[in-house]
Structure 1
């Protein structure tokens, strides 16, 4: 698909669960010097169009890619009662440590939507303790204020997004409840009509938060962006229907020496398709490649 050939690897987490990793190599299955770690969005996977398109372009330009799947998103249900969530940086840290052990000397990080929030939170938490081999990050359509985005999801114009997410999230709960009946009450499904409801009923208590509001406050990357220590580009569209631009910490980013916010007029949520495709490359793919190669140089 998209000309991308993945090689899957399964790694065991510290809590004896697993993560599915999909590798795509630039040079004949040999480890290149540079790796890009890609984190997908809510209910996405390594096979999402926005992941595959990015991997294809990066491979073509000499970058190895690691597109990892969040727990329960790689085609099979994970082993523990927990799922993934917007702030589960312990899993991203496991991915980074595994990649470093492979011998890569240069690593870049990339995230989309929920994966972008996760990436920014991880970088902010790590701060100056981040491994020096991790050089930069670029993220797209990031819900940096999870509560504001959850509220936006309830708007009538966004019902299609919410229904799409719930159509896969709720069946996962049903399946999990059969494996871990002590951790789930399937009767609560009738109370879940919005993504906020899902997070309040399932995500929050399952992962140690008091409620949805506590979960959103604890995991919103706007609260961690100040600690980021490497060059990081955040790209959000002004017309993103589920990430209100006013929810982004514009002033905090403007005063940050290492972080840039690029506001584009069009792109929606993880769209960024130009009016005319050149070589099948989306604007976001070209922008990411340019940033990885050149950073935020003014002469480009």
Structure 2
């Protein structure tokens, strides 16, 4: 995200980097967790930007789960209407099928990453889960992303459970309704986001909707079947951070 922002700034574009609800600095101003279909947060940000920068068009770029959210927003534009300033969206390695993605992340090959991801998710959750409550005690017992979604995310947003959340929030349910310029990028060796999900998605047949599958690149150039130097460095750094925080 830093590299993308720097490249756009160098070309003269204005850039706003957005944290998901409850993550990082946003935790102090948020209530409850984000979820993959929480596009109202994106609409609120667009409304706020429109007040500060009237009539200035905005292109939203999302990475990983953020990519899913901007694609969901693009699909909902056909049903709920397009935010006035939204000129287009771009996703990078978005988990277009939420159920398939959580299953892949939980696979034995991804054991270390899964453990690190759960550590970070629990850490962020502690900022809004009240200490000493039954939910706080339950948080420490969760072992998988699905457990986390089932126990915390789904009930916080009115879903009946993890499976109901994955089914109703997945951008696949609105993919065919995308009606704004959209660029979808993914790699054929992403270890966490199944490539088959992209083939199974019903993308609209529009000239301004483009799906591109790169040959190599891993998950946002983070980790691939044959990691490059940058991917290996970030992978080792994340493992070091995980163990240091533990």
Cα distance, 1:201–1:235 mapped onto 2, change above 3 Å: same
Matched ranges for 1:173-188 at <5 A: 173-178=125-130, 181=133, 185-188=135-138
2:88 maps to 1:136 = yes
CA distance in 2, matches of 1:154, 1:100: 40
Give the CA deviation at 1:162.
1.4
1:83 to 30, 33, 37: 33
Give the CA deviation at 1:207.
1.4
What corresponds to 2:191 in structure 1? 241
CA contact (8 A) 1:71 1:78 kept: no
CA contact (8 A) 1:72 1:83 kept: yes
What corresponds to 2:14 in structure 1? 64
* Secondary structure, counterpart of 2:129 in structure 1: helix
What corresponds to 1:126 in structure 2? 77
2:156 to 193, 196, 206: 206
Moved over 4 A (4+): 272-277
CA contact (8 A) 1:228 1:258 kept: no
What corresponds to 2:236 in structure 1? none
Residues 85-138 of structure 1 deviation map (CA, whole Å, 9 limit, x = unaligned): 111111110001111222242221111110010001111112272145322221
Q: Which moved more, 1:102-111 or 1:69-78?
A: 69-78
2:32 maps to 1:93 = no
Cα distance, 1:272–1:179 mapped onto 2, change above 3 Å: closer
What corresponds to 1:226 in structure 2? 176
CA distance in 2, matches of 1:122, 1:207: 17
Stretches of structure 2 lacking an aligned partner (at least 5 in a row): 231-246
Higher relative contact order at CA 8 Å, sep ≥6: structure 1 or structure 2?
A: 2
TM-score, normalization by structure 1: 0.68
CA distance in 2, matches of 1:157, 1:192: 20
2:143 maps to 1:193 = yes
Matched ranges for 1:1-300 at <5 A: 51-75=1-25, 77-78=27-28, 81-101=31-51, 102-127=53-78, 129-178=81-130, 181=133, 185-250=135-200, 252-253=202-203, 255-271=205-221
* Secondary structure, counterpart of 1:136 in structure 2: strand
Cα distance, 1:176–1:104 mapped onto 2, change above 3 Å: same
CA distance in 2, matches of 1:229, 1:62: 27
Give the CA deviation at 1:185.
1.6
Bigger share in strand: 1
Bigger share in helix: 2
Give the CA deviation at 1:272.
7.5
Residues 212-247 of structure 1 deviation map (CA, whole Å, 9 limit, x = unaligned): 001111111111111211111100101001100001
Cα distance, 1:94–1:251 mapped onto 2, change above 3 Å: closer
Give the CA deviation at 1:252.
1.9
* Secondary structure, counterpart of 2:15 in structure 1: strand
* Secondary structure, counterpart of 1:269 in structure 2: coil
